[in-house]
Amino acid sequence: MIPKTINCKGKLIDLSTPKVMGILNLTPDSFYDGNTLHSNNDILNRVDKMLNEGATFIDVGGYSSRPNASHISVTEEINRVLPIVELLAKEFPEILLSIDTFRSEVAKAALNAGACMVNDISAGNLDPSMFDTIAQHQVPYIMMHMPGNPQTMQKHTSSYQNIIVDLKLFFAKKLATLNALKVNDVLIDVGFGFGKTNKQNYTLLHHLDLFNDLDLPIVTGISRKSMLYKPLNVSPAEALNATTAAHTIALLKGSQILRVHDVKEAIETIQIVQLTKNAKAE
Protein backbone atom coordinates (compact mmCIF):
# COMPACT_ATOMS: atom_id res chain seq x y z
CA MET A 1 0.00 0.00 0.00
CA ILE A 2 1.17 3.53 -0.78
CA PRO A 3 2.06 5.42 2.44
CA LYS A 4 -0.88 7.55 3.55
CA THR A 5 0.97 9.81 5.98
CA ILE A 6 4.20 11.77 6.19
CA ASN A 7 5.67 13.34 9.30
CA CYS A 8 6.29 17.10 9.19
CA LYS A 9 7.41 18.77 12.42
CA GLY A 10 5.92 15.90 14.38
CA LYS A 11 2.56 16.32 12.66
CA LEU A 12 1.24 13.40 10.63
CA ILE A 13 -0.08 14.65 7.28
CA ASP A 14 -2.73 12.34 5.87
CA LEU A 15 -2.28 11.89 2.12
CA SER A 16 -5.28 9.60 1.63
CA THR A 17 -6.91 12.81 0.42
CA PRO A 18 -4.47 14.57 -1.97
CA LYS A 19 -2.85 17.77 -0.76
CA VAL A 20 -1.68 20.98 -2.43
CA MET A 21 1.80 22.48 -2.29
CA GLY A 22 1.85 26.18 -3.14
CA ILE A 23 4.82 27.49 -5.13
CA LEU A 24 6.76 30.47 -3.76
CA ASN A 25 9.39 31.43 -6.32
CA LEU A 26 12.03 33.85 -5.05
CA THR A 27 13.82 33.89 -8.39
CA PRO A 28 13.73 36.80 -10.85
CA ASP A 29 13.62 34.53 -13.92
CA SER A 30 11.04 31.81 -13.27
CA PHE A 31 9.01 30.95 -16.36
CA TYR A 32 5.66 32.09 -14.96
CA ASP A 33 5.85 34.26 -11.86
CA GLY A 34 9.47 35.39 -11.74
CA ASN A 35 10.17 38.85 -10.35
CA THR A 36 6.62 39.39 -9.07
CA LEU A 37 7.44 39.51 -5.35
CA HIS A 38 9.17 42.80 -4.60
CA SER A 39 8.94 43.04 -0.81
CA ASN A 40 8.44 40.98 2.32
CA ASN A 41 4.89 42.30 2.39
CA ASP A 42 4.27 40.90 -1.10
CA ILE A 43 5.60 37.53 0.04
CA LEU A 44 3.52 37.47 3.21
CA ASN A 45 0.38 38.38 1.26
CA ARG A 46 1.04 35.66 -1.33
CA VAL A 47 1.65 33.00 1.30
CA ASP A 48 -1.34 34.09 3.40
CA LYS A 49 -3.53 33.80 0.30
CA MET A 50 -2.24 30.30 -0.54
CA LEU A 51 -2.73 29.08 3.02
CA ASN A 52 -6.25 30.52 3.20
CA GLU A 53 -7.10 28.83 -0.08
CA GLY A 54 -6.10 25.46 1.35
CA ALA A 55 -2.41 24.83 0.67
CA THR A 56 -0.94 22.28 3.08
CA PHE A 57 2.67 23.01 2.10
CA ILE A 58 4.52 26.05 0.77
CA ASP A 59 7.52 25.26 -1.44
CA VAL A 60 10.20 27.97 -1.27
CA GLY A 61 12.74 28.10 -4.08
CA GLY A 62 15.61 30.45 -4.87
CA TYR A 63 17.20 28.72 -7.86
CA SER A 64 15.39 28.83 -11.19
CA SER A 65 15.37 25.37 -12.76
CA ARG A 66 13.66 26.25 -16.02
CA PRO A 67 15.64 25.20 -19.15
CA ASN A 68 18.69 27.41 -19.72
CA ALA A 69 18.15 29.32 -16.47
CA SER A 70 21.08 31.26 -15.04
CA HIS A 71 23.32 29.42 -12.59
CA ILE A 72 23.79 31.07 -9.17
CA SER A 73 26.15 30.34 -6.29
CA VAL A 74 25.25 28.54 -3.09
CA THR A 75 25.74 31.81 -1.19
CA GLU A 76 23.33 33.68 -3.43
CA GLU A 77 20.72 30.93 -3.15
CA ILE A 78 20.99 30.95 0.66
CA ASN A 79 20.75 34.74 0.71
CA ARG A 80 17.54 34.53 -1.33
CA VAL A 81 15.74 31.85 0.64
CA LEU A 82 16.98 31.93 4.24
CA PRO A 83 15.53 35.31 5.28
CA ILE A 84 12.17 34.32 3.75
CA VAL A 85 12.10 30.93 5.48
CA GLU A 86 12.83 32.70 8.77
CA LEU A 87 10.16 35.32 8.07
CA LEU A 88 7.49 32.78 7.17
CA ALA A 89 8.31 30.53 10.12
CA LYS A 90 7.92 33.55 12.41
CA GLU A 91 4.73 34.97 10.86
CA PHE A 92 3.02 31.60 10.33
CA PRO A 93 4.16 29.37 13.24
CA GLU A 94 2.18 26.34 12.00
CA ILE A 95 3.34 26.60 8.38
CA LEU A 96 4.78 23.53 6.68
CA LEU A 97 7.63 24.83 4.54
CA SER A 98 9.39 22.83 1.86
CA ILE A 99 12.75 24.02 0.58
CA ASP A 100 13.17 23.56 -3.17
CA THR A 101 16.90 22.99 -3.60
CA PHE A 102 19.40 20.43 -4.84
CA ARG A 103 22.15 21.72 -2.51
CA SER A 104 22.65 20.23 0.94
CA GLU A 105 24.02 23.50 2.38
CA VAL A 106 20.87 25.33 1.36
CA ALA A 107 18.72 22.50 2.67
CA LYS A 108 20.50 22.52 6.05
CA ALA A 109 20.16 26.27 6.44
CA ALA A 110 16.46 26.21 5.57
CA LEU A 111 15.71 23.21 7.81
CA ASN A 112 17.47 24.85 10.73
CA ALA A 113 15.44 28.01 10.08
CA GLY A 114 12.06 26.29 10.15
CA ALA A 115 11.53 24.32 6.93
CA CYS A 116 10.37 20.72 7.39
CA MET A 117 10.71 19.12 3.96
CA VAL A 118 13.21 19.07 1.08
CA ASN A 119 12.20 19.09 -2.59
CA ASP A 120 15.25 18.09 -4.64
CA ILE A 121 15.01 18.28 -8.44
CA SER A 122 18.13 16.11 -8.79
CA ALA A 123 17.29 13.29 -6.32
CA GLY A 124 20.76 13.71 -4.83
CA ASN A 125 22.64 13.55 -8.12
CA LEU A 126 23.95 17.12 -7.95
CA ASP A 127 25.12 17.00 -4.32
CA PRO A 128 26.47 13.76 -2.82
CA SER A 129 25.87 15.15 0.69
CA MET A 130 22.12 15.59 0.22
CA PHE A 131 21.05 12.09 1.28
CA ASP A 132 23.12 12.29 4.49
CA THR A 133 21.56 15.67 5.23
CA ILE A 134 18.07 14.21 4.85
CA ALA A 135 18.97 11.27 7.08
CA GLN A 136 20.40 13.56 9.77
CA HIS A 137 17.32 15.78 9.84
CA GLN A 138 14.77 12.99 9.23
CA VAL A 139 12.46 15.13 7.13
CA PRO A 140 10.24 14.16 4.18
CA TYR A 141 12.25 14.13 0.96
CA ILE A 142 10.85 14.64 -2.53
CA MET A 143 13.20 13.17 -5.09
CA MET A 144 12.58 14.24 -8.65
CA HIS A 145 13.94 12.75 -11.84
CA MET A 146 16.09 15.03 -13.97
CA PRO A 147 18.94 13.95 -16.25
CA GLY A 148 21.96 16.25 -16.07
CA ASN A 149 21.35 19.67 -14.56
CA PRO A 150 19.00 22.58 -15.39
CA GLN A 151 21.48 23.91 -17.94
CA THR A 152 21.97 20.58 -19.77
CA MET A 153 18.83 18.52 -19.10
CA GLN A 154 17.21 19.06 -22.48
CA LYS A 155 20.25 17.51 -24.17
CA HIS A 156 19.38 14.16 -22.55
CA THR A 157 15.94 13.53 -24.01
CA SER A 158 17.23 10.76 -26.29
CA SER A 159 18.94 8.86 -23.47
CA TYR A 160 15.95 6.71 -22.46
CA GLN A 161 15.55 3.06 -23.43
CA ASN A 162 11.99 3.02 -22.08
CA ILE A 163 11.11 6.12 -20.10
CA ILE A 164 8.72 4.40 -17.69
CA VAL A 165 11.07 1.50 -16.95
CA ASP A 166 14.10 3.80 -16.75
CA LEU A 167 12.44 6.13 -14.23
CA LYS A 168 11.10 3.30 -12.09
CA LEU A 169 14.59 1.78 -11.94
CA PHE A 170 16.05 5.22 -11.14
CA PHE A 171 13.67 5.70 -8.20
CA ALA A 172 14.11 2.14 -6.95
CA LYS A 173 17.91 2.56 -6.77
CA LYS A 174 17.59 5.90 -4.99
CA LEU A 175 15.07 4.44 -2.55
CA ALA A 176 17.41 1.57 -1.69
CA THR A 177 20.10 4.07 -0.71
CA LEU A 178 17.69 6.17 1.33
CA ASN A 179 16.31 3.07 3.05
CA ALA A 180 19.83 2.09 4.05
CA LEU A 181 20.17 5.54 5.64
CA LYS A 182 16.85 4.96 7.46
CA VAL A 183 15.09 7.89 5.81
CA ASN A 184 11.42 7.43 6.69
CA ASP A 185 9.40 9.63 4.35
CA VAL A 186 10.33 9.57 0.66
CA LEU A 187 8.15 10.95 -2.14
CA ILE A 188 8.73 10.88 -5.90
CA ASP A 189 8.24 13.35 -8.73
CA VAL A 190 8.70 12.14 -12.33
CA GLY A 191 9.95 15.59 -13.34
CA PHE A 192 7.60 16.79 -16.03
CA GLY A 193 9.56 19.04 -18.38
CA PHE A 194 12.96 18.17 -16.91
CA GLY A 195 14.94 16.46 -19.65
CA LYS A 196 11.82 15.23 -21.44
CA THR A 197 10.22 15.97 -24.78
CA ASN A 198 6.53 16.81 -24.89
CA LYS A 199 5.76 13.29 -26.10
CA GLN A 200 7.73 11.86 -23.18
CA ASN A 201 5.91 14.17 -20.76
CA TYR A 202 2.54 12.92 -21.97
CA THR A 203 3.72 9.31 -21.87
CA LEU A 204 4.59 9.85 -18.20
CA LEU A 205 1.25 11.49 -17.47
CA HIS A 206 -0.67 8.71 -19.22
CA HIS A 207 1.22 6.03 -17.32
CA LEU A 208 1.65 7.85 -13.99
CA ASP A 209 -0.34 5.12 -12.25
CA LEU A 210 2.45 2.62 -13.01
CA PHE A 211 4.61 4.45 -10.46
CA ASN A 212 2.19 3.44 -7.71
CA ASP A 213 4.07 0.10 -7.74
CA LEU A 214 6.88 1.86 -5.86
CA ASP A 215 4.59 2.40 -2.84
CA LEU A 216 5.68 6.03 -2.51
CA PRO A 217 3.54 9.17 -2.59
CA ILE A 218 3.63 10.84 -5.99
CA VAL A 219 4.15 14.60 -6.22
CA THR A 220 3.07 16.19 -9.51
CA GLY A 221 4.62 19.47 -10.65
CA ILE A 222 2.91 20.29 -13.91
CA SER A 223 1.38 23.70 -13.21
CA ARG A 224 1.37 26.03 -16.25
CA LYS A 225 4.35 24.21 -17.82
CA SER A 226 5.26 24.38 -21.49
CA MET A 227 3.95 20.86 -22.14
CA LEU A 228 0.53 22.41 -21.50
CA TYR A 229 0.71 25.85 -23.03
CA LYS A 230 2.85 25.22 -26.11
CA PRO A 231 0.52 22.69 -27.80
CA LEU A 232 -2.34 25.14 -27.26
CA ASN A 233 -0.36 28.12 -28.57
CA VAL A 234 -1.04 30.12 -25.43
CA SER A 235 1.16 31.71 -22.76
CA PRO A 236 1.83 30.36 -19.25
CA ALA A 237 -0.57 33.03 -17.98
CA GLU A 238 -3.32 31.49 -20.15
CA ALA A 239 -2.63 27.89 -19.13
CA LEU A 240 -4.79 27.55 -16.02
CA ASN A 241 -7.50 25.56 -17.79
CA ALA A 242 -4.93 23.16 -19.23
CA THR A 243 -3.32 22.87 -15.80
CA THR A 244 -6.63 21.87 -14.25
CA ALA A 245 -7.13 19.22 -16.93
CA ALA A 246 -3.65 17.81 -16.31
CA HIS A 247 -4.16 17.89 -12.54
CA THR A 248 -7.37 15.91 -12.95
CA ILE A 249 -5.54 13.21 -14.92
CA ALA A 250 -2.69 13.11 -12.39
CA LEU A 251 -5.10 12.73 -9.48
CA LEU A 252 -6.99 9.94 -11.21
CA LYS A 253 -3.65 8.20 -11.80
CA GLY A 254 -2.77 8.36 -8.10
CA SER A 255 -0.89 11.61 -7.48
CA GLN A 256 -1.11 12.62 -3.81
CA ILE A 257 0.44 16.10 -3.84
CA LEU A 258 -0.06 18.77 -6.50
CA ARG A 259 2.64 21.43 -6.63
CA VAL A 260 0.86 24.48 -8.02
CA HIS A 261 0.75 28.20 -8.70
CA ASP A 262 -3.03 28.36 -8.29
CA VAL A 263 -4.08 26.85 -4.99
CA LYS A 264 -7.83 27.52 -5.06
CA GLU A 265 -8.31 25.86 -8.43
CA ALA A 266 -6.19 22.86 -7.43
CA ILE A 267 -8.18 22.39 -4.22
CA GLU A 268 -11.42 22.49 -6.22
CA THR A 269 -10.03 19.92 -8.66
CA ILE A 270 -9.16 17.58 -5.79
CA GLN A 271 -12.65 18.00 -4.33
CA ILE A 272 -14.35 17.04 -7.60
CA VAL A 273 -12.06 14.05 -8.18
CA GLN A 274 -12.64 12.85 -4.62
CA LEU A 275 -16.41 13.14 -5.03
CA THR A 276 -16.16 11.06 -8.19
CA LYS A 277 -13.97 8.40 -6.56
CA ASN A 278 -16.23 8.16 -3.53
CA ALA A 279 -19.32 7.82 -5.71
CA LYS A 280 -17.67 4.99 -7.61
CA ALA A 281 -16.85 3.18 -4.38
CA GLU A 282 -20.44 3.15 -3.08
Q: What is the CATH number of the domain that holds 128?
A: 3.20.20.20
Q: Domain for residue 76, yes or no?
A: yes
Identify which has the larger pLDDT, 153 or 162: 162
- Number of domains making up the chain: 1
In angstroms, the Cα distances linking 166 to 2, 137, 190, 208, 250 are 21, 29, 11, 13, 20
Identify which has the larger pLDDT, 213 or 150: 213
Check pLDDT > 90 for residue 3.
no
pLDDT for res 70:
76
Which residues does residue 74 pair with via DSSP β-bridges, in sequence order? none
Q: Domain for residue 11, yes or no?
A: no
Q: What is the dihedral sign for C-alpha 150, 154, 160, 163?
A: positive
Q: Domain for residue 12, yes or no?
A: no
Q: Which of 23-27, 50-54, 170-174 has the lowest mean pLDDT?
A: 23-27
pLDDT for res 28:
72
Which residues does residue 20 pair with via DSSP β-bridges, in sequence order? 258
Q: Domain for residue 181, yes or no?
A: yes
Give the pLDDT band of residue 66 (cuts 50, 70, 90): confident
Give the pLDDT band of residue 156 (cuts 50, 70, 90): confident
Q: Domain for residue 171, yes or no?
A: yes
Check pLDDT > 70 for residue 175.
yes
How many angstroms separate the CA atoms of 88 and 109, rounded? 14
Q: Domain for residue 129, yes or no?
A: yes
Check pLDDT > 80 for residue 37.
no
Identify which has the larger pLDDT, 53 or 159: 53
Whole-number average pLDDT of the chain: 93
Give the pLDDT band of residue 245 (cuts 50, 70, 90): very high
Q: Domain for residue 6, yes or no?
A: no
Q: What is the pLDDT of residues 74-132, one digit of tens each?
A: 999 999 999 999 999 999 999 999 999 999 999 999 999 999 999 999 999 999 999 99
Burial class (CB in 10 A: 0-12, 13-18, 19+), 54: middle
How many angstroms separate the CA atoms of 143 and 120, rounded? 5
Residue 230 annotated among the catalytic residues of the structure: no
Task: Compute the average pLDDT of residues 54-70.
Answer: 86
Residue 103 annotated among the catalytic residues of the structure: no
pLDDT for res 131:
98
Q: Domain for residue 9, yes or no?
A: no
Please tell me the pTM assigned to this model.
Answer: 0.94
Q: Mind giving me the DSSP string for the chain?
A: ----EEEETTEEEE-SS-EEEEEEE--TT-TTTTT---SHHHHHHHHHHHHHHT-SEEEEE-S--STTPPP--HHHHHHHHHHHHHHHHHH-TT--EEEE-S-HHHHHHHHHHT--EEEETTTTTT-TTHHHHHHHHT--EEEE--SS-TTTGGGGTT--SSHHHHHHHHHHHHHHHHHHTT---EEEE--TTSS--HHHHHHHHHTGGGGGGG-SPBEE--TT-HHHHTTTT--GGG-HHHHHHHHHHHHHTT--EEEES-HHHHHHHHHHHHHHHHHHH-
Give the pLDDT band of residue 150 (cuts 50, 70, 90): confident
In the chain, the percentage of residues whose pLDDT exceeds 90 is: 82
Task: Compute the average pLDDT of residues 199-215.
Answer: 97
Catalytic residue from among 19, 80, 225, 253: 225
pLDDT for res 32:
44
Catalytic residue from among 230, 259, 277, 280: 259
Domain that holds residue 154: 17-281
